[in-house]
Amino acid sequence: MSRALGTAVLLLAAVLVLLPFVYMIAVSLAPAGALWSGSLLPRPGLAAARDNYAFALTQVPLLRYMANGAFVCGMILLLQVLIAAPAGYALAKLPFRGRGVLFGAVILALMIPIQVPAIPLYVGLAYAGLLNTYTALILPFVISAFAIFLFRQFFASYPDEVLDAARLDGFSELAIVWRLMLPAAWPAVAAFATISVIAHWNDLYWPLVVITDTDMMTPPLGLAAFRSSGESTGNPGALMAGGVMVTAPLVIGFAFFQRHLIRGLGIGAT
Amino acid sequence: METVRAGDAVADRAAALSIRGVTRRFGDVAALDDVSIDLEPGEFMSIIGPSGCGKSTLLRSIAGLEEIDAGHILIGDRDVRGLRPSEREVAFVFQSYALYPHMTCRQNLAAPLMMQELSALGRAPGLHRLSPRARRRRADIARRVDRIAAQLQIETLLDRRPLQLSGGQRQRVALGRALIREPKLFLLDEPLANLDAALRNTTRAELHALQRRVGATTLFVTHDQAEAMAISDRIAVMFAGRVRQVGTPDELYRNPVDLDVARFLSQPWLNRIDAATVARRLERGPARPVARIRGEALRDATGVVAFRPEHATVHPEEDRATPGLRVEVERAEHAGSDANLFVRLRDDGTPCVVRIASEGIDDWPPGRPALMRFDMDAAWVFPHPDPDPDAAASAGPAAQVA
């Protein structure tokens, strides 16, 4: 009885989450007029679908946005790991004065959203002449308190005797991080990569703050610009086609990584 | 069993080890207190002592995994204080084996050579093909891995990961990783402790044969005195951060310097009886013989008489031909061909253990009164021990055996 109720609630939630996606795909495949036909889901048409996708690809540099998004997400992730792995290792395994305080500061930083330092960051980037650059999109995110925290938790359970063996075998401290700790922590890395890429691919807020140049736009900002530009007025199909193309890489990627995501976070939490 | 072949190895690489006045403090506690030990090149020495006596700390200090607060450590004629662990040319085998979990056994064996003999370029996967020198070195490393694997009979395990191996197999791989560097000094931290009893005995013998063949100076930490007795040239006994005695197994067995050392080397228990009680009981009967321990008249001694279970005997109460100590049997424990008979002195309740043949176990039911005698030439008189927390922890033979 309660099981059936639970299933019903979950089903309802799933429908609520999925409905916008279904509607987006349906609209992207239908001619503009079909939207007002009265049926809940517009009837798709092959010619209309082709027109919609072609319009979205030609009227705005959608591929350019996606390339920007891929580059920015990739660089953010690379630099985050490059910084967070040694930091997490030091916090987990190297005794030094003030380690506890420093780890407390990392936890504190976890609770500060990007909106809080947004204005000083903007002003700083503006003074440095870095608005409308990849640097402006990447730099504020390269130190991730969440990544440092996650890696530290993972690394802390690594056996100390193996580290001693590594030091005797001639591993430097950095070699220990890259050759021993990180490979052992790959569920955490995969989980973090998924979270980071989803967050930054979907981010509209920060690109809106630092980017005005069309060439530098990321997918969500590009779509927003497309919508407000008037090009898509009276052509919701094309707008939705853009939405489908921007969302697709994430959905496909998530389908591949979700198992690691859940496993990684599960281990990190214990 | 491996045969001992002279001269096929790195004996010329074996170095003397000299530990001079090494002290290490953790807060107020001295984990190592002015420790000095010397090892000849090629010698096999065990360090034994109760948990927390500093034996592992000493080993880790020699390897450079712990700092020392005072003193010097010389490997060969080189003072290694301040050198990094990898620069000391020592190999270390850990109790947990400490293999790299995500690497195959082959990669585990190659790791020390890869890290020490290749540049970063040579280590990079794929990139080493660009450099003929890195390629040659990698081929050489692969050959050495194969050779060591053949020596330890682990060729078939090379492509497995540590988690897929049994404890004994992991132990071999860990030994191989230590051997492959041809170190000047071997440091073994309870490498047999995680093996089951049968495997421990065969591995112990193999380890000893291997050490003889390779000829490397070896320092072996264990809490198992039988293990140390079985394979060491010499043994160092440590208590509370200090070295109490260094000697051959035979010297330690026959002439322990103090009660602690004697107690540590006795299985299952060292019998200790107040000297006055022994004198009173043994100088009885018409002949009133003077009780002597190693020639010293016991009635002048103050302290405790100590002797091992294997040097004591029990006799029926009626057997009054020679004086003995009156005891009552408490219980008996089988120990293979022997049995341990736990008795209590009727005078003051002191617990004692007598080693008897296990066939005789039924003659001594609990509660039976008896006479206990012991070999006066195999006993010692030690001063009364200071009341210390260690002694309280093993207040009776039952506690120690359990």
Do B60 and B110 sit in the same domain of this protein?
yes
Do B234 and B136 sit in the same domain of this protein?
yes
Do B221 and B284 sit in the same domain of this protein?
no
Q: Indicate left, alpha or beta for A170 from its phi (over 0: left) and psi (-120 to 50: alpha).
A: left
In this prediction, residue A218 carries a pLDDT of: 94
- Judge whether B88 lies within some domain: yes
Is residue A249 packed enough to be buried (19+ CB in 10 Å), middle (13-18) or exposed (0-12)?
middle
Do B61 and B140 sit in the same domain of this protein?
yes
Do B284 and B370 sit in the same domain of this protein?
yes
In this prediction, residue B394 carries a pLDDT of: 45
Across the interface, do B94 and A167 touch by the CB < 8 Å criterion?
no
- Judge whether B392 lies within some domain: no
Is residue B272 packed enough to be buried (19+ CB in 10 Å), middle (13-18) or exposed (0-12)?
buried
Query: What CATH number does the domain containing B365 carry?
Result: 2.40.50.100
Do B234 and B287 sit in the same domain of this protein?
no
Is A164 an 8 Å CB contact of chain B?
yes
Across the interface, do A164 and B84 touch by the CB < 8 Å criterion?
no
Chain B positions contacting chain A at CB under 8 Å are 60, 63-65, 84-86, 90-92, 94-96, 98-102, 111-112, 115-116, 177
- Judge whether B4 lies within some domain: no
Q: Which residues of A touch B63 (CB under 8 A)?
A: 164, 168
- Judge whether B12 lies within some domain: no
Per residue in B58-110, pLDDT tens?
999 999 999 999 999 999 889 998 899 989 989 999 988 999 998 999 999 99
In this prediction, residue B398 carries a pLDDT of: 41
- Judge whether B400 lies within some domain: no
Do B241 and B142 sit in the same domain of this protein?
yes
In this prediction, residue B324 carries a pLDDT of: 84
In this prediction, residue B119 carries a pLDDT of: 75
Mapping DSSP to helix (H, G, I), strand (E, B) and coil, where does residue B268 land? coil
The DSSP annotation for B111-170 comes to HHHHHHHS-HHHHSTTGGGG-HHHHHHHHHHHHHHHHHHHHTT-GGGTTS-GGGS-HHHH
Residue B288: how many CB atoms within 10 A of its CB?
10
Is A184 an 8 Å CB contact of chain B?
yes
Do B302 and B222 sit in the same domain of this protein?
no
Which portions of chain B are predicted below pLDDT 50? 1-10, 389-402
Mapping DSSP to helix (H, G, I), strand (E, B) and coil, where does residue B222 land? coil
Do B240 and B273 sit in the same domain of this protein?
no
In this prediction, residue B391 carries a pLDDT of: 46
Task: Calculate mean pLDDT across residues A175-203.
Answer: 90
Q: Which residue has the tokens 């070195």?
A: B137
- Judge whether B398 lies within some domain: no
Over its C-alpha atoms, chain A yields an Rg (Å, rounded) of 23
Across the interface, do B115 and A184 touch by the CB < 8 Å criterion?
no
Whole-complex ipTM: 0.79
Instruction: Mean pLDDT check: name the lowest of A5-19, A131-145, B11-25, B234-248.
Output: B11-25
Do B215 and B296 sit in the same domain of this protein?
no
Rounded to a whole number of angstroms, the distance from the CA of B92 to the nearest CA of chain A is 7
What is the tally of structural domains in chain B? Answer: 2
- Judge whether B6 lies within some domain: no
Do B114 and B179 sit in the same domain of this protein?
yes
Across the interface, do A168 and B116 touch by the CB < 8 Å criterion?
no
Round the average pLDDT of chain A to a whole number and report it.
89
Across the interface, do A169 and B101 touch by the CB < 8 Å criterion?
no
The sign of the torsion formed by the CA atoms of B253, B257, B262, B265 equals negative
pLDDT-based confidence at A2, cuts 50/70/90?
confident
In this prediction, residue A270 carries a pLDDT of: 43
Mind listing the domains of chain A with CATH numbers?
61-268 (1.10.3720.10)
- Selected for mutation to probe chain A from B59, B88, B92 (highest A CB count within 10 Å) is B92
Beta strands B217-221 and B292-293, pairing class:
unpaired
Query: What is the extent of the structural domain holding B169?
Result: 17-255
Query: What CATH number does the domain containing B27 carry?
Result: 3.40.50.300
- Judge whether B2 lies within some domain: no
Per residue in A93-107, pLDDT tens?
999 999 999 999 999
Do B22 and B161 sit in the same domain of this protein?
yes
Length, in residues, of chain B: 402
